[in-house]
Structure 1
Amino acid sequence: MVVIGSVVALAALIALGYRLGTDPRVEHGEVVILVALAPGALLVLSWLVRLVQWWGAARAPARRVMVTAHLAQSPQPGSAGRVTGAAHAVSAAGGIDTSPKGYAVWLTVSGRDGGVLHQRVVWEPWLRELTRPRQAMVRHGSGVSVVDVAGYGRLWPASFTLRRRPYGVRLIPFRKARRLPKENSLSHGRLAYLFLLLVVPCLGGAVAQGVWALLGWWVAYLVASMAAAGAWFGIIPPGVLPEAARRGRAPATS
């Protein structure tokens, strides 16, 4: 629902944004809007390709496997790649917090033939309950795997299926990751800070030129883009892990 809703919203906002760019009150509107629309258009196109992959994989034959959920964490401060920002969070004490931070969920898929596949998946609320290996049915096609976990539901792929461990991350089983402090690198505060950082430039332009419709469009465009990008990378939303786990204590109940 998040994927479909955000992609449809982005497509509609791109069309609306192009129309706003022709408003004579907006200086260099067409250039500004086209630059702003490029990332969103790329995201929509990428999601359309991935949705075709989902459709192909969902129609493939199923085979029985065991799956284990893992939290992807930065292996060390200063790691290259998409985990760098998570490894350099400033702590409340004003220093650098060097503890690993989780940001996405990977499944290890073990078949009867002894082979192991690695698949990043789009977040589902019940994923936090997978603290031990579970039986599942996997359907592989178009380079990705759709996983149906017995008793829970379907997990959609957020990456290509890998026959090796993903580079640049450390995979911690949920059984252990739930006991690590600050597993989730994302927070409401950081999201709000990023959102305001991106809104302020447009706010200044809207005030100066009196085009408030442009500001409303930009806010909606940012929200849809952040939702679509988060789902694309399988990022864990803030606030989804138990408070006890975030404080580094094991949950009281299984």
Structure 2
Amino acid sequence: MSLLEIQDLDAGYGDLEILSNIDLHVDDGEYVTIVGPNGAGKSTVMKTIVGLATYMDGTITYKEKDIAELEPEDIIYEGLGYVPQSENVFPTLTVEENLRLAVYILDEFPEERKQEVYDRFPVLANRKQQKAGDLSGGQQQMLAMGCSLMLDPDILLLDEPSAGLAPDLVDDMFDRIDAINDAGTTVLMVEQNAKEALRRCDRGYVLANGKNRYEDDGDALLQDQEVRQQFLGG
């Protein structure tokens, strides 16, 4: 049974339609990646799921509940975690303060989850009193993911987690995402580093011009000659 299912989704911004008849599903425990050229609508899919883009038509079902027209703050309560590509931490607050703010909806602060975040990202533990804006780009991405994990989401939505990272840090970031999925968190990721993302994921979707083009296992998409020529640089 699908944890998250999208059918015939039309969405965009205001009156501008970006997505047309998008179909997508993510099963419990899966690691799914959305790839495609710039402007394909990949990030719009993510933003529509979490209520930050304009829903127009179709269905978005999470745990068999229709969430298509919920407000973003209500979607958080449903157990979805979302890490946007940029502006995903509070730069003037410390690492510790960011983690505390991430769980403002809870009655009690989950100390054990904070420790789990520090165990997963030791560099954050070493910089807990440092302002987030003084962290490197990779460290800020770790903090953004840590903030999302503080609410123990059933699914983690990641929008371009490797964007802006130095090449030698990209593999490390993917390794950390692998580990999050291996620990039991379902992952849906948008990623420009298509070859590496497809190599690591269970299944992938290729979007172009706001429409579904291909869907298959990650390895199968990597080996598909049409996909390679059109979207992966041969």
User: What range describes the TM-score normalised by the shorter chain of this pair?
Assistant: under 0.3
Whose radius of gyration is greater, 1 or 2? 1
Task: Point out the structure with the larger strand share.
Answer: 2
Relative contact order, higher structure (CA 8 A, sep 6+): 2
TM-score when normalising by structure 1: 0.22
Task: Point out the structure with the larger helix share.
Answer: 1
